Each structure stands twice: as C-alpha cells, then as structure tokens.
Amino acid sequence: MICNLNKFFDQASRISATLRDAALATLYPSGCRVCGDMIESWRDGAACSNCWREIERKSLAGDLCAKCGMRLEPLPSPVEITDRRCGRCDHLAFAYARACGPYEGALRESVLRLKLHPHLTARLREALRRAFAALPDSHLIESIVPVPLHSDRLAERGFNQAEVIARALASLTGLRLDSSAVIRVKKTEKHRAGMGARERARSLERAFRIRAPRLVENRAALIIDDVMTTGSTAHELAETLLNGGARVVNVLTLARAMNEFIQ
Ligand SMILES: [Zn+2]
Ligand SMILES: [Zn+2]
C-alpha cells in the first residue's frame, strides 16, 4: 500500500513538473541561446536539450591535460599514454583543475546567464555533480572555496557567481562551504581582450588575503569558479591557500576556455 502510494506521488510529481515546464514555456517563450530552437524544459535554462547533449558529448571527447584540463592534440593511434600533460601548466600552484566541459555552446550561455541570474538550473547542477564525481580523489576534498569577488565588485553585481556555484556544490555533496576564508583585496578585471597571460598573472599578484586561517590550515580545498581561462586566478588563489597552510588545493569550474594557452 505504502509502495503504491509512493509510486503515485512519484508519478504525480513528475506530471506536475512536466505541467509546470509547459506552463512556464508558454508564459516565457524563449529560444535556445545557442541554436535558436525552442527550449522545451525549464530545467535546461539557456540552451535546448540538443545543445546540452552536444556539449556533454564534447566534454567526453579527446584527451585533456591531467593537471590543468586543457584539451590536447590527439595522438596517432594506437599510442595511448595516461596522465598526459600540456607542458604549459607545471608552474601553477593547484594540483589539478577540472571543468564540467569546454567554454562553448550550452555551457558558455549558462555561464553568461549566471552573471545575471544567481541560480543554477537543474541541468547545470547535474553537470556539476557529474564533474565533481569524476574528480580524482573527490572523497578526500574537505572544503569548497569560491573565488572571492572584490567588495566593490560585489556591491555592483549584488552576488558572487562563484559562490552561487559553490553553494550548489556544497548542497549536492554535503561538503563545507568556506566563502569567508579568503577575501579579494585587489580589484582586477576578469579578462580583458588583448591581455596576455603574463600580464594577467602580474595583475593578480597578491590579489587575495586569508581572513580566517583556521578554515584554511591543513585542509584539502577545492576552488570553485565559473570559467577558467588562463588559470592565473586559480593559481593565485591556490598559492594564497597553500601559503596559509592548506594541504592540497584543486580547482573545479563550470567551463574551461580551451583556446587560451597558459604561458
Ligand atoms: Zn539549442
Ligand atoms: Zn596543463
């Protein structure tokens, strides 16, 4: 009887989700930001399900650098090497960086939307959960540290999108969220066109400061951001955390810009 009731409520909640999606799609008709097709489900956010499938396929395709997650040139088959590295990221302070996928299509549009709406759609949460589960040694991670925004930038924008992602991951994993462990003391531009990786790295030097040392000492921390471009921001924050006594620092972002090479 209880089992039947559970089935009934499961079915009812699925039907109501479908009805809600249909009602919202009628109320707010919106096209996919990638291909222009109709978005059928509210849970997909900025892109249609075909474009999501496309980015999920791309996320799985090809070899990635074992440290920074950069896409690597394919090797002539049948050569197979595990733990290939790009050779450009050795100096970066974090142990490894991973992303839900490349900064393209549905993921790019979702990241852009997140700058305006502080909410992760169900599809994005699912991508984040999968990317976290695929991290090497994800069970050893102890705390989640979103890349902090400078207080002036936070006042302008009203929220920190890295913190929105980190909060979602904390609720998905049960890990502790340490959003007040580090602050950003230097105002830097996110990524200006024509700004080289070296110039960007220099502008970020000493950009962060530890505010709560006991939240950093001896912790295995996971840095969270929306996009990783040159890796300079993640590097600078990782270095600050390691100097503050963190045991190991890794990085997870929603997306990885694959055409920006670290120099
Ligand atoms: Zn589409
Ligand atoms: Zn690399």
Closest ligand to residue 54's CA: 1
**Residues surrounding ion ligand 2 at CB below 5 Å:** 65, 67-68, 70, 86, 89
As a whole number, the mean pLDDT across the chain is 87
Q: What is the pLDDT of residues 55-109, one digit of tens each?
A: 998 887 778 899 999 988 877 776 666 788 999 999 999 999 999 999 999 999 9
C-alpha–C-alpha distance, residues 45 and 120, integer Å: 8
Residue 154 has pLDDT above 60, yes or no: yes
Could you tell me the residue ranges of all domains in the chain?
Answer: 65-256
Domain 65-256 belongs to what topology? Rossmann fold (3.40.50)
Read off φ and ψ for residue 250, nearest 5 degrees.
-120, 170
| Per-residue confidence (pLDDT) for residue 75, from 0 to 100 | 76
Closest ligand to residue 32's CA: 1
Which pTM does this prediction carry? Answer: 0.85
Distance in Å, CA 37 to ligand 1 centroid: 5
- The residues, ordered by sequence, that sit 6+ positions from 41 with a Cβ below 8 Å of its Cβ are 21, 25, 49
Closest ligand to residue 87's CA: 2
Query: pLDDT grade, residue 263 (50/70/90)?
Result: very low
Query: pLDDT grade, residue 132 (50/70/90)?
Result: very high
Closest ligand to residue 55's CA: 1
Instruction: Spell out the SS3 assignment of 29-81.
Output: CCECCCCCCECCCHHHCCCCHHHHHHHHHHHHCCCECCCCCCECCCCCCCCCC
Share of the chain above pLDDT 90, in %: 63
Distance in Å, CA 86 to ligand 2 centroid: 4
| Per-residue confidence (pLDDT) for residue 83, from 0 to 100 | 84
Chain-centroid distance of CA 99 in Å reads: 6
Phi/psi region, residue 149 (left: phi>0; alpha: psi -120 to 50; beta: rest), is beta
C-alpha–C-alpha distance, residues 258 and 70, integer Å: 6
Q: What is the pLDDT of residues 4-49, one digit of tens each?
A: 656 666 666 666 666 666 555 555 557 999 999 998 888 899 999 9
Residue 260 has pLDDT above 60, yes or no: no
> How many residues appear in the chain?
263
- What average pLDDT does this structure show over 135-139? 91
Distance in Å, CA 121 to ligand 1 centroid: 16
Distance in Å, CA 108 to ligand 1 centroid: 12
